[in-house]
Amino acid sequence: MTKTMSVTGPVPDMVKAMESGDEAALVTARQMIPSYGAKAAYYVAPLLSHEKESVWRTAFNILADVANEACAPGREDDREYVNRVFMDILEGSPTPHLIEWTFRLLPLVTPEGADVDAVAAYLDQPDYREKARTTLEAIGTVRAAAAL
């Protein structure tokens, strides 16, 4: 996975608390983690494959907030970092659930010029072909169009 950036603050502790599914921990994490920015994506992304819906939904919402914030003007490094975290998920051995949620997040953050080979690889898999195609269309970059 992507080399982690140094995170000041309690992000790893909040993520650990989220794993329990405790409602208070999820609410606190949802409110606080996005304020730590792109660096938090590395810690939160693995929770997309958690078995408890309340946990993976909270993780998805946090990552969507982080991705949207990383797309602000002047935050190109953050955007590239978050994009790389998501692409690394697809290049590993993700669960079907993890693939689906990562496909939903990538269009939020994939910058022009970014490598989309990790998504394009799923075009050859019948179970994911349509979702990969839709993701590449939503990414909308020159490289995504070429991959189609």
Of the candidate ranges 3-7, 35-39, 54-58, 96-100, the one whose mean pLDDT is the lowest: 3-7
The alpha carbons of the chain give a radius of gyration, in whole angstroms, of: 15
Longest CA span, the chain:
45
Query: Looking at residue 9, what is its pLDDT?
Result: 63
Tell me the average pLDDT of the chain: 92
pTM of this prediction exceeds 0.85? yes
pLDDT at 10 over 90: no
Average pLDDT over residues 88-105: 92
List the helix and strand counts (H, then E) for the chain: 9, 0
Q: What is the spatial distance between Cα 50 and Cα 59, in angstroms, rounded to a whole number?
A: 9
